[in-house]
């Protein structure tokens, strides 16, 4: 007798950046209803899905304390009412030193918070002479990688700019993560150049599913998000792509594919630490 497949219908909500809590919640709930109608068991949202604005190079999203955050509480209520699991890609939570935390949450089907992750790598970049971002000017960075155990699988949480640091995904995968979340508000410029290839690389390198909900459209205060939310299998194949419009993508994934991919190419086990030397390569010894 063969065992049943480990199937999961997972969805990405491709929201547009909203300037305040209520419009952000209304949009997320409207799209989440659509995801439920498509059979989604696990629903994911982009980075800063609770609202996003910029002022100069700094991120200035609307923020609140965790226990009274209207978007968090609204999506928790939705998850409980619909009996669905939810990844809140990230919202702005009041933090220390008059800064905010760019925090992601996993919510179970009873509306409980079962995992929190604070974005480690903050987006401090100069894309051109006229376009720069300093997330660290307003955001207090996290310092811990996070894996969430769910009834479906172990899931690794990351956010946006984390995507450029492959060691984070390696450590999550070597710790058992089978799904790697990459909620994002990737910029148009960097998205066009790097979004697809980096997400596919993280899936291929680690033999894991990558689920990457990304915001689409203009940000209040300047800039724009790239969209193209992605669901990618462990072989690096794109199962769904959100394109450049607000909407919902979903796919039924077979989590058994993770073990198959990691058996075919066992790079997680072959990974080695090594030193670096300068000059002539060392000679082999017998």
Cβ contact 268:207 at 8 Å: yes
Residue 119 known to be catalytic = yes
Give catalytic status of residue 148 as yes or no. no
Contact assessment for residue 22 and residue 51, using Cβ atoms and an 8 Å cutoff = no
Asked if residues 150 and 142 have their Cβ atoms less than 8 Å apart, the reply is no
Residue whose C-alpha is closest to residue 155's, from 118, 116, 122: 116
Cβ–Cβ under 8 Å, residues 256 and 5? yes
Q: Read off the tokens for 232.
A: 């990618």
Instruction: State the number of CA atoms in the 13 A half-sphere of 70 facing the CB.
Output: 11
84 noted as active-site residue:
no
**Candidate list 41, 47, 135, 257, residue with the active-site label:** 47
Q: Strand 238-241 relative to strand 247-254: parallel, antiparallel, unpaired?
A: unpaired
Q: What is the phi/psi pair of residue 109, to 5°?
A: -75, 5
Alpha carbons 158 and 118: distance in angstroms, whole number: 8
Q: Which of 12, 49, 148, 160 is catalytic?
A: 160
211 vs 199: CA distance, rounded Å = 9
Alpha carbons within 13 angstroms on the beta-carbon side of residue 169 total 27
User: % helix / strand / coil in the chain, to the nearest 5?
Assistant: 30, 30, 40
Contacts of 270 (CB under 8 A, 6+ apart): none
What distance in Å separates the CA atoms of residue 234 and residue 200, rounded to the nearest whole number? 9
Task: Give the active site residue among 12, 119, 178, 257.
Answer: 119
- The number of angstroms, rounded, from the C-alpha of 122 to the middle of its chain's C-alpha atoms is 14
| Active-site residue set | 47, 119, 160
């Amino acid at each position: 007798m063969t065992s049943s497949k480990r199937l999961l219908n997972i969805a990405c909500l491709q929201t547009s950046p909203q300037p305040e809590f209520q419009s952000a919640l209304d949009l997320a709930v409207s799209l989440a209803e659509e995801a439920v109608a498509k059979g989604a068991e696990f629903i994911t949202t982009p980075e800063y899905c609770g609202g996003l604005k910029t002022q100069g190079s700094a991120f200035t999203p609307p923020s609140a304390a965790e226990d009274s955050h209207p978007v968090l509480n609204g999506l928790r209520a939705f998850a409980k009412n619909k009996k669905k699991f939810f990844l809140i890609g990230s919202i702005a939570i009041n933090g220390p030193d008059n800064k905010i935390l760019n925090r992601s949450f996993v919510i179970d089907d009873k509306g409980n918070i079962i995992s929190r992750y604070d974005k480690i790598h903050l987006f401090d970049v100069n894309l051109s002479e006229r376009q720069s971002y300093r997330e660290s000017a307003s955001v207090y960075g996290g310092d811990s990688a996070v894996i969430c155990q769910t009834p479906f699988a172990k899931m690794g949480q990351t956010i946006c700019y984390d995507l450029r640091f492959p060691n984070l995904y390696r450590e999550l995968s070597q710790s058992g993560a089978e799904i790697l979340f990459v909620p994002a508000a990737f910029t148009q410029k960097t998205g066009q150049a790097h979004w697809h290839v980096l997400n596919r690389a993280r899936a291929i390198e680690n033999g894991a599913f990558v689920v990457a909900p990304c915001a689409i459209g203009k940000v209040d205060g300047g800039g724009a998000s790239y969209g193209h939310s992605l669901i990618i299998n462990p072989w690096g194949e794109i199962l769904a792509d959100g394109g450049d419009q607000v909407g919902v993508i979903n796919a039924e994934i077979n989590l058994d594919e993770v073990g198959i991919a990691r058996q075919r190419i066992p790079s997680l086990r072959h990974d080695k630490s090594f030193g670096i030397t300068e000059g002539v390569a060392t000679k082999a010894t017998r």
